[in-house]
Structure 1
Amino acid sequence: MNQNQPNTLPPAYFDHVYEANRDPWNFETSPYEREKYAATLAALPRPHYAEAFELGCSLGVLTAQLAGRCGHLLAVDVSEAALAQARARCAALPQVELRRMNVPAEFPTQQFDLILVSEVGYYWSAADLTRSADLLIGALQPGAHLLLVHWTPPVHDYPLTGDDVHEFFLAKTTEAGPLRHLGGQRHETYRLDLLEKR
């Protein structure tokens, strides 16, 4: 954990980032992102999910690709600037619902058969990661999938690393835990872990 940044990064942090650059992480153009999105979609065991939830959808690049596998996809972000781009990108996808939401302070009430936490967990403090994990696990139907995908090198601004996030969830896959680990991949700068609600 980053002792210099013990708090969850606030929505204003992301608003400033998107004001400075409309695509700050090159989601639209980066070969790294394109390969990672392909690996993310390929890791999903089912061809279709009735109810899916994507945290931190940003500009909606992955959202638009995931939508074809979903009956209904709730995609949320803390940044209105990012969501404006996501709304434009997903305008022709009626199954996509985009909402401004600051998890864990705000959380949807429905149950899901897929939750995707991609490049968002390391923005939480350790306490908010714990709260978020409890909410996420509670929102999974039995047999539902939780897919984690995160950049692994440390970033000085972020409270946690991708490894911190994944190891936290993997600790819940013991025999008595609420999750089962179905498989994982470690790439040069990111990792992916697929979990299932018991």
Structure 2
Amino acid sequence: MNENQPNTLPPEYFDQVYQANRDPWGFESRPYEREKYTATLAALPRPHYPEAFEIGCSLGVLTEQLARRCGHLLAVDVSEAALAQARQRCAGLPHVAVQRMQVPEELPEKQFDLILVSEVGYYWSAADLALAADRLIGRLLPGGQLLLVHWTPPVHDYPLTGDDVHALFLAKAGDGGPLRHLAGQRHETYRLDLLEKR
């Protein structure tokens, strides 16, 4: 874990990144992202999730694809600049709600069949990650699924690595834990883990 940057990255960090570049991580253009989105959707074992929650939706590129598998999808991010693009991209999808929300401090009251935490957990401090894990497990319906997808190489700005994030959630899938681990994949620069609430 990076001791020099122990705090969760603030919304201003992301606003500055999006102001400098409308697609700073190449979500719309990089073959890496396209391949990862394909792997993400393929990892979901159910054809349909009545209620889904995507944390860190950014420009909504994955949101638009995930929406085909959802009865209702709530997609959230901390950056208004990113959300403006996500709202535009999903404007023709009335079952998708795009909102500004700062997880883990803010969470919807309802419970979900699917929660997606993709490329967002390493922006939290260790304390906020632990809080997020507990609160997100509380927002899963029994039998609800939690899909984690994260870049694994360290990034010096980020408080945690993708492996740190997955390790914390996987620890809750041990004996007697609230989750069970259904599947995992490790690719060259990212990993994916699917968990289910007991």
Question: TM-score band (shorter)?
Answer: over 0.9
Structure 2 residue identity aligned to 1:93? L
Name the residue aligned to 2:89.
89
Structure 2 residue identity aligned to 1:19? Q
For residue 103 of structure 1, report the CA deviation from its aligned partner.
0.5
Name the residue aligned to 1:3.
3
Name the residue aligned to 1:118.
118
Structure 2 residue identity aligned to 1:167? A
SS at match of 2:85: helix
Name the residue aligned to 1:37.
37
Once residues 190 and 79 of structure 2 are traced to their aligned partners in structure 1, the CA distance between those partners, rounded to angstroms, is 23
SS at match of 1:150: strand
- Provide structure 1 residue ranges, at least 5 long, that are not aligned to the other structure: none
For residue 175 of structure 1, report the CA deviation from its aligned partner.
1.6
Cα deviation, 1:78-108, whole Å, max 9, x if unaligned, reads 0000000000000001110000000111111
Question: How do 1:149-164 and structure 2 match up within 5 A?
Answer: 149-164=149-164
- Provide structure 2 residue ranges, at least 5 long, that are not aligned to the other structure: none
| Residue-pair matches, total | 198
Once residues 170 and 111 of structure 1 are traced to their aligned partners in structure 2, the CA distance between those partners, rounded to angstroms, is 21
Cα deviation, 1:34-83, whole Å, max 9, x if unaligned, reads 00000000000100000000000000000000000000000000000000
* Structure 1 moving runs of 4+ over 4 Å: none
Question: How do 1:100-115 and structure 2 match up within 5 A?
Answer: 100-115=100-115
Once residues 168 and 22 of structure 1 are traced to their aligned partners in structure 2, the CA distance between those partners, rounded to angstroms, is 32
For residue 196 of structure 1, report the CA deviation from its aligned partner.
0.3
Name the residue aligned to 1:74.
74
SS at match of 1:173: coil
SS at match of 1:40: helix
Structure 1 residue identity aligned to 2:143? G
Cα deviation, 1:104-145, whole Å, max 9, x if unaligned, reads 111110000000000000000000001100110000000010
Structure 2 residue identity aligned to 1:187? H
Percent of residue pairs bearing the same amino acid type: 81
Question: How do 1:146-185 and structure 2 match up within 5 A?
Answer: 146-185=146-185
Once residues 126 and 175 of structure 1 are traced to their aligned partners in structure 2, the CA distance between those partners, rounded to angstroms, is 23
SS at match of 1:129: helix
SS at match of 2:74: strand
Structure 2 residue identity aligned to 1:169? F
Once residues 100 and 176 of structure 2 are traced to their aligned partners in structure 1, the CA distance between those partners, rounded to angstroms, is 35
Name the residue aligned to 1:63.
63
Once residues 190 and 90 of structure 2 are traced to their aligned partners in structure 1, the CA distance between those partners, rounded to angstroms, is 26
Name the residue aligned to 1:188.
188
